[in-house]
Each structure stands twice: as C-alpha cells, then as structure tokens.
Structure 1
Amino acid sequence: MKAELIQLGLSDEEAKLYLSCLEINGGPVSVIARKAGVNRVSAYHTIENLLKKKLLSQYNRNGVKCFAPESPEKLEELMLEKVHVAKALLPQLKSLATAGGFRPKIRFYEGMDGIERVFTESLSSEGEILGYTNLKQLIEEIPVFFKSYTHKRMKLGIKSRYLSPSTVESVHAIDPFLPKEFDANLMEILLINKDQFPFENDILIFGNSVGIVSLNPNEHLGLIVESPTLSQTMKAVFDLAWLGATAFVAK
C-alpha cells in the first residue's frame, strides 16, 4: 500500500506514518513514529504535513498531544482537489505553450520499451492508423507485444492500413496475431516489391503525430513528432503510395 500512496503524492515518510496511524488508530508522535520505524524528530515535521493535507487530526489526551487518522476517503477528496486545480490551470498553461507560436514536439525513446511506447501511443488515435511496416521484421522482433497491440487496436475499433514488403513469411504473417473474431474492415495490408521497397523502419501516422520505429537490433529506437502539418503531409504521401500500390496490385 505504501507504494500506491507514494504514487498518489505522499512522500515515503508520510506514507509510513499515515499507514501506521491507521493501524494503531492514532496516538502520540512517539508511538506513531516507533510503529512506522521513523525518527521521532523528523516525524513531527511529517505529521504537520499530514495535518495540512487533512489526512490526520489533532487532539489532546491527558495533556499529551495526539494524532488520529482521518477516514481513508479523505485521500480521494485530496486527489479530486488536485484534479480541480489542474483543470483550472490548464487554459493558462496552454496559452503559455502557444504564446510563442507553434513548436512541433519531438520525443525520442531508446530500447524495446521505447519502440513499444510509440506503438502504444498510436492507440490514442481517433482516426485510422497508416503505416509503412515490415511484417517479417515485426513478428521476429516483437511477436508477443505485436499480438497484444493488434488485439487492443481491434478491440478499440481503430482501422489500420499498412504497406509492407512482400516475402514468403509476410504473406500470412499477420494471421496468428489476429483475434479469433474481428472486423476484417479494421485492417488492410498491401504487400509490395521487397527489392524496390526494402523498408527497414516502421513509420506510423496517427492523429497529429508521426511515429518512427527502428527494429534493427543494432539501433532499437522510437521517435514521435507531434505536428498537425507534418502529419497531414505524411497522410497525403501515404495515400498517394497506397493508390499507386493498389493500381499495381490491380494489374
């Protein structure tokens, strides 16, 4: 529970003292500090913080200052207050961010976690996901994650269109990664000449962002650029490539 309390904004010592106070139903600082394994001197300061957060209350017992835990529901009230403050502050923060004109946001991630982060963020897209990909490379490098990602995307009802180099492995590569039941309209893949178009990186176009992923074992990395104009241009380029690939397949 201590870890969760820290996630909610309490310090390590605040979490220890609060939990100990709940367990023994309050008491003098010395008793609470001993139960929590905290130095009594520092406990006084920390308990003052918990009083300010209204997680503890103070009372006197036989002339001794004691502290009692408030109802755990106070934690929820504390978090709701913070959410309210954050919402009130958002318009001002956004105005500061746009005061100097639009600046594309570029985020760079390293390692497999970074690669997965780019794919996961694409699931926030309200429209379809467009992508230049290499299915053979995907299923070799991140098979478990790719299956999970595909299932989540299908469950969210997000359509995707992919262009991928055609190989023996890629023809039915996607089949084992699909749910048993799914809407076939949610996925379109066009396989293109692997010699003419040897994709080494994945490029995902979604919402106002463009994600770039390298699955090369020597350079695992992910990159996301948030830019409406770049995203719009990349979507237009993809549609042009898709149209050309469709015409080629039709022949």
Structure 2
Amino acid sequence: MGLDEKTERVYRVLLYLADAPVNRIAEETGIIRTSVYHMLEHLISLGLVSTYTSRGTKRFVAENPNKIKSHFEQRLILTERIIPELQKEMRKTSSNSEIKTYHGKEAIKSLIEDALDTKERVILSIGSSKELLQFIGGKFGYGHRRRMKNILARSIRLEGDEPVSNPRLNQAKFIDKNTDFPGYILIYDKRVCIILFEKNGLGFVIENQSFSKMAKSIFELIWKNYTP
C-alpha cells in the first residue's frame, strides 16, 4: 500500500469500523491516541480518510481503497513530468568534465548498466569479458538487454573468452591471453569507464568529449593494426 506498518493498521481498522472517533481507533489498533492522530492526518492528506464532527466529537471515515491507486498514479505522472526537466537543468549546470568513482561489485554492475543508455548505440570495450563476469559474480542479463536495445558491441578481448554470437550486434578481436590486463574498459558517447579487478572492485567514469575521442582513437588503432 505504500504506508508504514502502523499507518496501514490504522487504515485497515478504520475500513472495518467504517466510521469512528480516534479513541475507538486507538483501542482497536493498540496504538497510543496521539500517534493515531498523526497517522490519521497523513491518511487524510492522501485522501484515504475524511473527517467530520458530530455532537462535538471528531469522527473519521475510511475512503475507498481505490484512492491509493489514484494517489500513486498522480505521483507517477508528476514524476515523469519533473524528471526530464530536472535532467535538463542538471545538464545546464554540469561542467564539461566529470569524474565519478565506484566502489564495490554492485556499483561496478551499475556502472556497466549505465552504458546501455548510450546515444550513439555503440559500446567499445577492451579486456577479458570472461574475467569481468568472474569478478562481478556471473552474468546479470546485460548482454541480453544490450541486444534488445539493438546496441552494437565492438570488443577487443583476450583469447579464451566466449566466441562471438550474433555478429550483427557483436564484433570482436582476440589478443594474446597472456596479456597482463587486470581490468576492463568501456568507451561510449563521451564516457570512458575503467574497471579494476582488485579487492572488492574499483571503477572510474571519466566524462569528457576530448578524452573519449582519444580513447576511441586508441581503440581503433589497436583494432586496425592487430593481426592474430
């Protein structure tokens, strides 16, 4: 329902009673009267409870539970309208360069997942995909979601990695498996993501147009000049 346990209990009791003063609700729920008042005020603000006065006593009435759905639908509509506006403001105020640090394997997964928002629909990578998956604890659906979004992956991998499937969306070249490369690099749009396979995981995202162009040029240089 989106309410805390005690507030939900108050609402359920009032649904059962239909109409009651605060002391009766407190008695039925086992929650102190002052707390029940605060919870009822919150429920009133959500449109789930209404109130009236009869013979000098304030009474509370439970409204239809369908109003819960209406309330959250309205919040969703508001959120969908506000988020794009906030993102525009964030882009206006952000600087041309940004460096973010990620600690921990779950954060590394989040860093990788962010690549699926690429505008160019191409993700370049350097490193062993096999070692990356072993490091973060196995597959987590990234490849499937990338293919569903029709994003091309161009990879410089290490020998021993899985062979490429679906060549329309996967292109790969394999370098010597003995190459000392204890990490993974993702390059897309104006971002360069560096993942280090050490301790619990450390990642960096550098967002800079010039740095990204330089990284893409290095990738293409390796790609064009590599001969197995």
Q: TM-score range by the shorter chain?
A: 0.7 to 0.9
How large is the Cα RMSD of the aligned pairs? 3.3
Structure 1 residues not aligned, in runs of 5+: none
Aligned pairs, number: 226
CA gap of 1:94–1:158, structure 2 versus 1, over 3 A, is closer
Question: Which position in structure 2 is the counterpart of 1:75?
Answer: 68
Return the alpha-carbon distance in structure 2 between the equivalents of residues 88 and 115 of structure 1: 28
Return the alpha-carbon distance in structure 1 between the equivalents of residues 128 and 30 of structure 2: 55
Q: Residues 102 and 108 of structure 2 are in contact (CA less than 8 Å); yes or no, is this contact kept in structure 1?
A: yes
CA gap of 1:47–1:203, structure 2 versus 1, over 3 A, is same
Question: Which position in structure 2 is the counterpart of 1:183?
Answer: 166
Question: Which position in structure 2 is the counterpart of 1:220?
Answer: 201
1:203 partner letter: I
Further displaced range: 57-66 or 116-125: 57-66
Q: Residues 153 and 169 of structure 2 are in contact (CA less than 8 Å); yes or no, is this contact kept in structure 1?
A: yes
Aligned partner of 2:131 among 126, 137, 142: 137
Structure 2 residue 152 is the aligned partner of structure 1 residue 159: yes
Question: Which position in structure 2 is the counterpart of 1:236?
Answer: 217
Question: Which position in structure 2 is the counterpart of 1:44?
Answer: 37
Q: How does 1:29-178 map to 2 (within 5 A)?
A: 29-60=22-53, 64-86=57-79, 87-88=81-82, 91=85, 94-95=88-89, 98-99=92-93, 102-126=95-119, 127-142=121-136, 144-145=138-139, 148-166=141-159, 170=160, 173-174=161-162
1:133 partner letter: G
Q: Residues 183 and 197 of structure 2 are in contact (CA less than 8 Å); yes or no, is this contact kept in structure 1?
A: yes
Question: Which position in structure 2 is the counterpart of 1:211?
Answer: 193
Identity %: 26
- Shift of the alpha carbon at 1:214? 1.9
- Shift of the alpha carbon at 1:165? 2.7
- Shift of the alpha carbon at 1:68? 2.5
Return the alpha-carbon distance in structure 2 between the equivalents of residues 223 and 209 of structure 1: 10
Return the alpha-carbon distance in structure 2 between the equivalents of residues 26 and 103 of structure 1: 59
- Shift of the alpha carbon at 1:202? 0.8
Q: Residues 205 and 231 of structure 1 are in contact (CA less than 8 Å); yes or no, is this contact kept in structure 2?
A: yes
CA gap of 1:15–1:223, structure 2 versus 1, over 3 A, is farther
CA gap of 1:231–1:48, structure 2 versus 1, over 3 A, is same
CA gap of 1:159–1:241, structure 2 versus 1, over 3 A, is same
- Shift of the alpha carbon at 1:92? 6.7
Q: TM-score, normalised by structure 1?
A: 0.72
- Shift of the alpha carbon at 1:187? 1.1
Return the alpha-carbon distance in structure 1 between the equivalents of residues 194 and 30 of structure 2: 49
Q: Which has the higher helix share?
A: 1
Return the alpha-carbon distance in structure 2 between the equivalents of residues 67 and 121 of structure 1: 48
2:72 partner letter: M
